[in-house]
Amino acid sequence: MALAYHGQGAPIAHHMVTTAFELPGFRVVRNVGLVRGVVVRSRSVVGNWVSGLQTIVGGNIPGWAAMCEQAREDSYQTMLSHAVELGANALIGVRYDANDIRDGVTEVLAYGTAVVVEPIT
């Protein structure tokens, strides 16, 4: 699957990104450094109103779930772009974080360690 990214090198495939600190079958030959992708999102007034009504009933709130998923995807792609720009071909120790900046405005951060790996032979 081709990934959306803004770097100059080849995209990093999903199977080369992990929350673990190693990739089975590969050895880290160079630590490129910390990379991150930051996205700040706000809810629209209309979307907030409709989703607010759904909180009365309970259950999943599709509008907010979609917004959260898009923010995570955008931060993930930005993180990948930074890794590619630095010459990495894999990411280890990947994490997500989210913080409220103010009411209705949230920061989503994806971060990890960009590395160069080679197959273990």
Kindly report the CATH class assigned to 14-119: alpha beta
The 10s digit of each residue's pLDDT in 9-21 is 788 999 999 999 9
Taking the C-alpha atoms of residue 104 and residue 83, their distance in angstroms, rounded to an integer, is 30
The 10s digit of each residue's pLDDT in 70-113 is 889 999 999 999 999 999 999 999 999 988 888 778 889 999 99
Taking the C-alpha atoms of residue 109 and residue 38, their distance in angstroms, rounded to an integer, is 5
Q: So where are the chain's domains? A: 14-119
Read off the pLDDT band of 57 (50, 70, 90).
low
